[in-house]
Amino acid sequence: MSGERPDPEAERQRLQALLEQGRAEEIVREARRRLSVEPADAGWWWWLGRALEAGGRPAAARAAFGRAAFLDPRLPEGEAAAGPTPAWLEQLLAVPPHTVSACLIVRDEAEHIGRVLASLAGAVDEVVVADTGSRDDTPRLAARAGARVFHVPWQDDFSAARNAALERAGSEWVLWLDADETLDPRDRAGPRLAAGLFHERRPPAVVQVTVVNDLGSGPPEVHHDVARLFPLGRGLRFFGRAHEQVGPDPGGPLVGPVLRPAVRIRLHHDGYRPDVLQHRRKLERNIRLLELAVAEDPDDLLAWAFLGRERLLHGQPQAAVEALTRAEALAERTPAYGRLPELRTYLLSALLALGRREEAVEVGRRAVAAHPEYPPLWFGYGQALFLQALALAGAAGAAYREAVERSRRYQGLLPADPALGGWKGLLALGDVAKLQGDWTTAYTYYRQAAAEQPDAPGIAASLTHQRQQVEQLARLLAAEAAGDTPPADGA
């Protein structure tokens, strides 16, 4: 049917075939036509890069790949373009200029305010700082760094403070940061670039950026879907006492029509480090604010979801289950809510923390059926199944031990296999111990069973399997000691 988008896989195969046939210039012409109509199409920028690369124009290809990576942060960033690019490509890459204000709400952030403001140098046209009652030198330091500072009364409501700052912003677009964040220096051109690409969109675009959370140890936690950049004067504002979200007024973040493109603007955040959370008591504060929010509006899906997460992080799994269960019920009738897979992952974790394995297995089964593309749900479901299996293995071991003990003293009239108190029971207990990872105990049980019944089926096979596994492990350890890296599958 005319006007329908082509099937993505069929389109990919078509374009790949053109490349393989040496017809890269056809892709270049088609990409130029498409991008002149829709300059924010990451896919066509990527194919343009492929075609330019195949045509021996590496500098132009890198420029195209760079725009693709900006418009789709999941793509590899690649190298910055170096060398001349054709005039037509420069024209495609150009965007209309629009001004951007950076806005922050702060309180007692003297330690961080200089760092965040320095990271914004050259990236925005002004910085607006709303101070909610600092007792330290934050306002003076912000003003000295060039920010416009004003004071707003704290009302236990982050959205109220942010919306007050929006009224002071004087640019066409606004970029929001927290004081414990910094803009990645590689992305200083990003705010104005995104404003130019999305300024004329109707409905308005609430641009999602990437927040890289430094958790203090291990790899950072990366979120590509954090709404921080949007146009002013289009009826957009913040909603929610804590973990506030952007949406149209009237309507809200889950109702009104809003575009939500994601771009490669990285904000580095260290406020979730355990030492910072504990020092600043952020979880306690957020829980208090979110409890106020759900008391005011029992159908506030976002507040219930965030409340469940914060309670779980604060070591309150029972309260977390209650909040997350309520949020799940609300989310199931709210199609615009896009974080249901994540919510169910938290619910799984809370149930497992309470030892409610059967419920966790059922939640996991439903969740992976509804969201098969979300890896954390499969991992959580696997944890639930594994812990349930271990619990069942423990129960099986207890049942086998009862069978052995009762068989040895059984004097009833009904027939009972005497081997249950001997080799059969020992073999079964060995299987349970092996499943539980206690191979020494398993081997002991198997040897005892073999001593009683050397020719019994299963005993020799179990002993042989264990010996083979031990020999293979010994070879792997020897290879590791010699400096070799054995393959993950042990082959």
Give tens-digit pLDDT for 47-96: 999 999 999 999 999 999 999 999 999 998 877 767 788 999 999 999 99
Residue 388 tokens, joined? 């349930």
Pairing of strands 173-176, 100-106: parallel
Rg of the chain over all Cα atoms, to the nearest angstrom? 30
Q: How far is Cα 228 from Cα 210, in angstroms, rounded to an integer?
A: 9
Res 77: pLDDT? 83
Domains and CATH numbers, the chain: 8-93 (1.25.40.10), 100-273 (3.90.550.10), 281-386 (1.25.40.10), 410-481 (1.25.40)
Q: Which residues, listed in sequence order, are joined to residue 126 by a DSSP beta bridge? A: 101
The percent of residues above 90 in pLDDT, for the chain, comes to 87
**In which band, very low, low, confident or very high, does the pLDDT at 490 lie, cut at 50, 70 and 90?**
very low
Give residue 92's pLDDT.
97
Query: Which two structure tokens, joined as six digits, stand for 248?
Result: 């149209």
With a threshold of 0.85, does the pTM exceed it?
Answer: yes
Place of tokens 């005011």: 296
Question: pLDDT for 440-450, tens place per residue?
Answer: 999 999 999 99
On the question of pLDDT at 8 being above 90, the answer is: no
pLDDT at 486: 61
Element (H, E) at 481: helix 459-481
Number of H helices, E strands in the chain: 19, 10
Token pair of 94, please?
């150009």
Q: Tell me the average pLDDT of the chain.
A: 93
Residues 202 and 198: their CA atoms lie apart, in Å, by 9
DSSP letters for 220-264: PEEEEEEEEEEETTSSEEEE-SSS-EEEETTT-TTTS--B--EEE
Q: Express each pLDDT in 456-473 by its tens digit.
A: 888 999 999 999 999 999
Q: In the predicted model, is pLDDT for residue 1 greater than 50?
A: no
pLDDT over 90 at 18, yes or no: yes
Instruction: Identify the pLDDT of residue 311.
Output: 97
Q: Which of 228-242, 264-278, 405-419 has the lowest mean pLDDT?
A: 264-278
CA atoms of 56 and 400, how far apart (whole Å): 71
**Residue 389 to residues 192, 358, 394, Cα–Cα distance (Å):** 54, 10, 9
Identity of the residue numbered 218: G
pLDDT at 491: 44
pLDDT for 424-442, tens place per residue?
Answer: 999 999 999 999 999 999 9
Structure-derived torsion over alpha carbons of residues 415, 420, 422, 427, reported in degrees to the nearest 10: 160
- Which position has the higher pLDDT, 179 or 456? 179
What pLDDT, on a 0 to 100 scale, did the predictor assign at position 223?
A: 92
Query: So what's the pLDDT on residue 271?
Result: 82
User: What would the pLDDT profile of 364-389 be if each residue is shown by its tens digit?
Assistant: 999 999 999 999 999 999 999 999 99
The answer to whether the beta carbons of residues 40 and 47 sit under 8 Å apart is no
